[in-house]
Amino acid sequence: MPEAFKLKADCKVKPAIRQMISQAWQRHRKDQLAVSTNQQRVMEVFNMTWINEMKQHENQAFTVDMSFPDPFVTEVFTDTEPIAAAARRMGLNAGHSLTLKTGWDFMEPNRRKAALNLIDFLKPEVVILAFPCGPWSPLHRLNPPEDLQERREAAKQLVLFAFEVATLQLKAGRHFMIENPQPSAAWQLEELKKFEARPDVLSVIVDMCAFNLRSENGGLHRKRTKLLSSSQALISNMIGRRCDGRHQHDPVIGGSKITEAAGHYSRKFSEAVVNSFMEQFDFETLAIFQAMKPCMRSMPLVCKMMRQMAQSCKSSQMDRLNYSQ
């Protein structure tokens, strides 16, 4: 303490002044304890708690609970449910198909909205969308009915609904497949062209004879088909699946009995689709674990750094406390 502020031993202080000095010092000390000591104590407890938590995390075992999607696949429009059947044969869970047969008339706006809400709630990993191709068939170009334009305007609602479902899947990070015959006039819709141009939508053309699609007489149907999907695995597995030209084809004409049968997926195609989406799921799951590995390896180092920062913070608080005192 500077000499000017020291009281000499023989200095006589009046009792009233001495009492005022004592009271002032007590108030000062009380304020000092309230501001410095309490704050330091709080920081000390905080830092020790933080250090102990970091020590616990340093030896922590990381576990990830992975469950297979349930349902794995849901079909929309397809009454025969060939993809769902293939998924069940492989031990996967398939959701209830949303078709006319199961009471879903998508020409009604309220049923379209209800279906979107249901898909958003169930969160199927894959949705298969095969909107009706009747009004878009090449046969109608050869012999168009008088009300063809009206039919297509009505059927366009189903195409747009397929886009809505596919977009819902994309936003949620899940997958879809849209299928229709390659000659279908629906592919010329501007809305469909715009959707296909998205960077997260891929396309491929296949011949169904490569998947053993046969007529009732046993002949192969070529039925050139276009697929849109968000799955790279599906597209990669479908590339090159075209007719090899070594066989004859039965024409897909001759009435609804023939065209309806040709509209079904073969078992080989259905299983190829399910296997492809399983590959996609495996790839994405592996990618998650690979992304987590650096974090797991660096966690002890991160804990050590955070512990050092906490200790440094504690030292700074102590220095400020000593200075204030």
Per residue in 97-128, pLDDT (tens digit) is 999 989 999 999 999 999 999 999 999 999 99
Assign domain 73-287 one CATH number from 3.40.50, 3.30.70, 3.10.450, 1.10.10: 3.40.50
Q: What was the pLDDT predicted at 263?
A: 64
Q: What percent of the chain has pLDDT over 70?
A: 72
Indicate if the pLDDT at residue 34 is higher than 70: no
Give the model's confidence band at 146: pLDDT under 50 very low, under 70 low, under 90 confident, else very high.
Answer: confident
- pLDDT: which is higher, 317 or 312: 312
Q: What percent of the chain has pLDDT over 90?
A: 46
Give me 57's structure tokens.
Answer: 């995390």
Q: What was the pLDDT predicted at 67?
A: 67
Calpha distance 52→98 (Å, rounded): 54
Give me 33's structure tokens.
Answer: 């304890």
Q: What was the pLDDT predicted at 324?
A: 47
Indicate if the pLDDT at residue 322 is higher than 80: no
Which whole number is the average pLDDT over 203-211? 95
Give the model's confidence band at 264: pLDDT under 50 very low, under 70 low, under 90 confident, else very high.
Answer: confident
> To which residue do tokens 């010092």 refer?
25
Mean pLDDT over the full length of the chain: 81
Does residue 183 have a cis peptide bond before it, meaning omega lies within 30 degrees of 0? no
Q: What was the pLDDT predicted at 254?
A: 55
**151, 132 Cβ separation under 8 angstroms:** no
**158, 132 Cβ separation under 8 angstroms:** yes
Which whole number is the average pLDDT over 156-180? 95
Calpha distance 191→195 (Å, rounded): 6
Largest CA distance in the chain: 129
Give the model's confidence band at 79: pLDDT under 50 very low, under 70 low, under 90 confident, else very high.
Answer: confident
Give the model's confidence band at 216: pLDDT under 50 very low, under 70 low, under 90 confident, else very high.
Answer: confident
Give the model's confidence band at 310: pLDDT under 50 very low, under 70 low, under 90 confident, else very high.
Answer: low
Which whole number is the average pLDDT over 252-259? 55
Indicate if the pLDDT at residue 323 is higher than 50: no
Least confident of 122-126, 163-167, 282-286: 282-286
Indicate if the pLDDT at residue 20 is higher than 90: no
Which whole number is the average pLDDT over 159-166? 96
Q: What was the pLDDT predicted at 300?
A: 56
- Please tell me what DSSP assigns to residue 127: E
Q: Would you kindly state where each structural domain of the chain is located, as residue ranges?
A: 73-287
Calpha distance 86→89 (Å, rounded): 5
- Please tell me what DSSP assigns to residue 2: -
Indicate if the pLDDT at residue 156 is higher than 70: yes
- Please tell me what DSSP assigns to residue 181: E
Record the pTM. Answer: 0.69
Q: Hey, which residues does 204 pair with through a beta bridge?
A: 227
Calpha distance 26→30 (Å, rounded): 6
Classify 9 in phi/psi space as left (phi over 0), alpha (psi -120 to 50) or beta.
Answer: alpha
Give me 263's structure tokens.
Answer: 């509209």
